[in-house]
Amino acid sequence: MNKKTLIFDASVIAENLCACRGRSGIYFATYNILYELLKSGDFDISLYCDVLYNKDFIKFIEKNFGKNVKIYFGNRFGIFLEKMEVLDNNLHKSKHNILKLLLNVFVRKPVKFLGNHINLPNFDIAFSPVRVFSKKIKAEEKYIVLYDVIPVLFPEYYPQYKLKKFWFNDLVNYIKSKPACKYFAISQSAKNDFVRLLDINPDDITVIPLAANDNFYHEKDNKKIKKVLKKYNIPTDKKYVFSLCTLEPRKNLIRAVKTFIEFIKKNNIDDMVFVLGGAHWDEFIGKLEKEIKNLGEYKDKIIRAGYVMDEDLAALYSGAEFFVYTSQYEGFGLPPLEAMKCGCPVITSNNSSLPEVIGDAGIMIDFDNDKQHIDAYERYYFDEKYRKSMAKKGLEHSKYFSWDKTAKIIINQIKGK
């Protein structure tokens, strides 16, 4: 019996080939779901990439997923257009502006237009890990992964939500058109929000909890931990609280930082710092830096580690006294799960999807309550027995989540089991 054919939109992977750009949870979900689907062998899988052509993407796919995966690009003349880009770069601007203009008008644009009219074969199944399908993709069954409705709930943080070309707007409009499509939501909370706000039939959404990668583990080698701390200019002679996320307003970092300072001032603590890891939003980082500067003599207690490489995360999580992630809202919240898998006790908000991720294996508080933040810090700092018990509980709880389980839910749903 022939396997069903499945076209998987891997554009998110192509857009995040460079790890230093700050890969998001969506990237890791896309990568791991694709990996597990290919490993299962249940479908005849091809990839779609909505770009002209990308040699680095092809090399990445061959290295990570094998050389036998067929790839379709968004333009049939992508290789030629890529060579045009090289020619453009080689033509000296001051001497060849007219030539470049003529090439663009009479060669590049016509070729790009004709190349966009590419006919892909028909597939049994189309799977998109985040966005609306390209019109070039034709399939009998369609599935899209839904992450969160943050732009709807917090439009003040997403001015691009007002723009017609914002990808989330395309998704919202697609859902409202009531297409013949099924969905996967990354948490029950996310599913409930999409049903409530976008009127999706709940029977059309299947929940697929995410998971932490295998590079997250409990690092017990103190030498390795200290080596990583030095790499990110974190003092090795002090304890530290760790927080990892994109530095943006919804993550509630200013409150987390300010209450940490209140905590150490209240208890005359001088042996602890707060480490912020992660890439940042340009429009938010200035405000955060101003708040840190306003801490005066305590500003050195806050250390910005910046973007942390994947291979260093296990050590940073494992070496921390505890992990803080008191967001205003999360579609799932991978960092707390990663922390638990590394044996790090967690403090999170009690809203949205976070209770699903944490269970009873961490301290959960109101995201906007300063006193609860300080109380949680004190509980972990002063009660070593409790801190260790929660670290152990978190390690056990993290075993409930795996990409293999996630993929099996997807496969069984598609197969109608």
Confidence check: pLDDT of 336 > 60: yes
Q: Whole-angstrom Cα distance, residue 243 to residue 278?
A: 8
Confidence check: pLDDT of 160 > 80: no
403-405-406-408 Cα dihedral, nearest 10 degrees: 120
Q: How confident is the model at residue 193 (pLDDT cuts 50, 70, 90)?
A: very high
Per residue in 89-114, pLDDT (tens digit) is 666 655 667 766 666 665 566 655 55
Highest CATH level, class, for 222-398: alpha beta
Q: Whole-angstrom Cα distance, residue 162 to residue 284?
A: 19
* Beta carbons of 378 and 267 less than 8 angstroms apart: yes
Q: Whole-angstrom Cα distance, residue 142 to residue 149?
A: 20
Query: Other CB atoms closer than 10 Å to residue 110's CB: what's the count?
Result: 11
Q: Whole-angstrom Cα distance, residue 279 to residue 27?
A: 15
Rg of the chain in Å (alpha carbons): 24
Q: What is the pLDDT of residue 381?
A: 97
What integer is the mean pLDDT of 75-93?
Answer: 59
Query: H or E stretch including 44?
Result: strand 43-49
Which tops the pLDDT comparison, 95 or 5? Answer: 5
What integer is the mean pLDDT of 383-410?
Answer: 97
Query: Other CB atoms closer than 10 Å to residue 36's CB: what's the count?
Result: 19
User: Which residue in the block uniquely carries the two structure tokens 């001088």?
Assistant: 270
Query: Other CB atoms closer than 10 Å to residue 162's CB: what's the count?
Result: 10
φ/ψ of 122, rounded to 5, equals -75, 140
* Beta carbons of 345 and 366 less than 8 angstroms apart: no
Confidence check: pLDDT of 230 > 60: yes
Mean pLDDT score across all residues of the chain: 87
Q: How confident is the model at residue 56 (pLDDT cuts 50, 70, 90)?
A: confident
Angle between helices 25-40 and 403-415 (to 10 degrees): 60
Q: Whole-angstrom Cα distance, residue 339 to residue 314?
A: 8
Strands laid side by side in the 322-325 sheet: 302-306, 272-277, 239-244, 322-325, 346-349, 363-365
Per DSSP, the three-state class of 363 is: strand
Q: What is the pLDDT of residue 387?
A: 97
What integer is the mean pLDDT of 299-320?
Answer: 92
Confidence check: pLDDT of 182 > 70: yes
Q: What is the pLDDT of residue 357?
A: 96
Highest CATH level, class, for 4-74+118-211+406-415: alpha beta
pTM for this predicted structure: 0.86
* Beta carbons of 128 and 12 less than 8 angstroms apart: no
Per DSSP, the three-state class of 166 is: coil
User: Which residue in the block uniquely carries the two structure tokens 């499509």?
Assistant: 181
- Which residues of the chain form CATH 3.40.50.2000? 4-74+118-211+406-415, 222-398
Q: How confident is the model at residue 86 (pLDDT cuts 50, 70, 90)?
A: low
Confidence check: pLDDT of 115 > 60: no
Give the total residue count for the chain. 417
Q: Burial of 285 by CB count in 10 Å (0-12 exposed, 13-18 middle, 19+ buried)?
A: middle
For the ranges 36-45, 51-60, 168-177, 327-336, the lowest mean pLDDT is seen at 51-60
Q: Whole-angstrom Cα distance, residue 305 to residue 227?
A: 14
Residue 123 vs residues 31, 47, 141: alpha-carbon distances, Å: 21, 11, 9
Q: Whole-angstrom Cα distance, residue 34 to residue 52?
A: 21
